[in-house]
Amino acid sequence: MAVDLLLGLQWGDEGKGKIVDVLTKNYNIIARFQGGPNAGHTLVFNGKKHVLHTIPSGIFHDDATNLVGNGVVIDPVIFKGELDKLEEQDIDYRKSLLISRKAHIILPTHRLLDAASEAAKGKAKIGSTLKGIGPTYMDKTGRNGIRVGDLELSDWKERYRTLADKHESMIAFYNVDINYDLSKLEEEFFEAVDILKSLTFIDSEEYVYQAQKSGKTILAEGAQGSLLDIDFGTYPFVTSSNTTAAGACTGLGVAPNQIGEVFGIFKAYTTRVGSGPFPTELFDEDGETMGRVGHEFGATTGRRRRCGWLDLVALKYACQVNGVTQLNMMKGDVLSGFKTLKVCTAYKYKGDVIEHLPYNIEPENVEPVYTEMKGWEDDLTTMTDASQFPKELNNYINFLEKELQIPITIVSVGPDRKQTIFRK
């Protein structure tokens, strides 16, 4: 069976966790392939909110196997926190959760390095979640990292010490004011590593290959969004992994010709958390309303998200890079009550009007060109079928489908599993 992908098409926080949870019934295996605890996937069902950071969003379904792939970076302390929460809810994860031996470990000093690097950048800071993501991927590509499989080796603590000592000298080199008590951090780290070691480690690329061969259905769950991709995002204001479709190939060991459907998730408007350019960002009451109605606060850091109109130039680019076959539009309900909606269809760029994403999208380089549409008043959150949609919402959806040339197969009208409307 082909492996289907589910990816965020904007700057993250599109609502991937909810859609994975909704789609899990169609799959045997849900696999995370990149990112780490910088992600915050929110799921709402039975009146309760659940936030996952590293664990795949299929964990609440009894029949699904959940794989943390080789492309993921794991912080044992945060991972343990997630397991504790699952235990509180009597979720039996032991049999259904598998971890790749090739996934890299986030050390306490990776987190400290993240903090030191950001502090040293001053105003130019990335706005990182400070979970140690960048430094851990740097050690991976620098060939210094510690992997999950290393925890099974007798000398892994010596390797740990060598790397942590190196990190301490790097922190000192930054020469910024970072207060920390490493022995305390290490105490909780080693305790959490012991818990991690009690889980099932696997050679995940072989597992995925055999699962495909035996006809199992697999959904690869992306984290962050395409515009945060290390290669195709708004560099340097990006995360440190490939969040786009290619990342699923390297992050799970899936061959490119084995990719099936690519579900592209986007919000009916745009948000961004952290620094970096955002051409359609709003600084007015409309932006404030989107943030308030949409509860636009980071699931991992609690930071306020920046809000703006939908940017079709950026969305088209993301569809292109990922080979999206189906679109899922989230948070349509948040736009109820706006008299006029705007969608950016082009940029004014160096005297021209362009429809592709240029190298520089900073405010001094691009000015969005908007198409205006009439909004709708109706509350969408209680709707259960697309036939109930107001005509203005249908106009909005039809316009996007025509521009993007990809069907919008799911429209989400609220955070709950049940507030999901399938089209066509």
Question: Which of the ranges 25-33, 124-132, 366-374, 386-394 carries the binding residues for ligand IMP, by CB under 6 A?
Answer: 124-132
Q: Contact 126/133 with Cβ under 8 angstroms?
A: no
Residues with Cβ within 8 Å of residue 276, at least 6 apart in sequence: 11, 126, 127, 234, 237, 238
Is 13 annotated to bind a ligand? Reply is yes
Residue identified by tokens 């492309």 is: 71
Is 331 annotated to bind a ligand? Reply is yes
DSSP bridge pairs for 8: 265
According to DSSP, residue 303 is labeled P
The minimum distance between CB 140 and ligand IMP, in angstroms, equals 14
Told to judge if 80 belongs to the known catalytic residues of this protein, a careful annotator would answer no
Cα separation of 7 and 225, whole Å?
7
**CB-closest chain residue to ligand IMP:** 274
Among residues 218, 228, 343, 346, which is the contact residue for ligand IMP, using CB under 6 A? 228
Q: Contact 243/269 with Cβ under 8 angstroms?
A: no
Catalytic residue (choose from 104, 140, 267, 316) = 140
Among residues 100, 109, 129, 345, which is the contact residue for ligand IMP, using CB under 6 A? 129
CA 123 to chain CA mean position, Å: 25
Is 16 annotated to bind a ligand? Reply is yes
Residues with Cβ within 8 Å of residue 57, at least 6 apart in sequence: 16, 17, 18, 20, 21, 24, 30, 41, 43, 221
Is 15 annotated to bind a ligand? Reply is yes
Is 332 annotated to bind a ligand? Reply is yes
Catalytic residue (choose from 4, 41, 167, 342) = 41
Looking at the Cβ atoms of 4 and 13, the one nearer to ligand IMP is 13
Structure-block tokens of residue 56: 């795949």
Looking at the Cβ atoms of 40 and 414, the one nearer to ligand IMP is 40
Looking at the Cβ atoms of 129 and 242, the one nearer to ligand IMP is 129
User: DSSP string spanning 183-231?
Assistant: HHHHHHHHHHHHHHHTSEEE-HHHHHHHHHHTT--EEEE--S-GGG-TT
β-strands 200-202, 3-8: how paired? unpaired
Structure-block tokens of residue 326: 């189906």
| Residue 274 in the binding site for ligand IMP (CB under 6 A) | yes
Looking at the Cβ atoms of 234 and 345, the one nearer to ligand IMP is 234
Cα separation of 302 and 129, whole Å?
10
Cα separation of 5 and 108, whole Å?
31
Told to judge if 25 belongs to the known catalytic residues of this protein, a careful annotator would answer no
Residues in region 1-30 near ligand IMP by CB under 6 A:
11-13
Looking at the Cβ atoms of 113 and 366, the one nearer to ligand IMP is 113
Count of residues near ligand IMP by CB under 6 A: 20
Question: Which of the ranges 89-97, 151-159, 220-228, 341-349 carries the binding residues for ligand IMP, by CB under 6 A?
Answer: 220-228
Residues with Cβ within 8 Å of residue 419, at least 6 apart in sequence: 333, 381, 412, 413
Catalytic residue (choose from 13, 21, 75, 114) = 13
Which H/E stretch holds residue 166?
A: helix 156-174
Looking at the Cβ atoms of 114 and 392, the one nearer to ligand IMP is 114
Number of Cβ within 10 Å of residue 93's Cβ equals 15
| Residue 224 in the binding site for ligand IMP (CB under 6 A) | yes
Structure-block tokens of residue 136: 């851990």
Is 302 annotated to bind a ligand? Reply is yes
| Residue 39 in the binding site for ligand IMP (CB under 6 A) | yes
Told to judge if 295 belongs to the known catalytic residues of this protein, a careful annotator would answer no
Among residues 117, 204, 239, 280, which is the contact residue for ligand IMP, using CB under 6 A? 239
Cα separation of 19 and 347, whole Å?
31
The minimum distance between CB 395 and ligand IMP, in angstroms, equals 29
Show which residues are catalytic.
Answer: 13, 41, 140
Residues of each annotated binding site for substrate: 299-305
Contacting positions for ligand IMP (CB under 6 A): 11-13, 38-40, 126-129, 131, 133-134, 223-224, 228, 237, 239, 273-274
Residues of each annotated binding site for Mg(2+): 13, 40
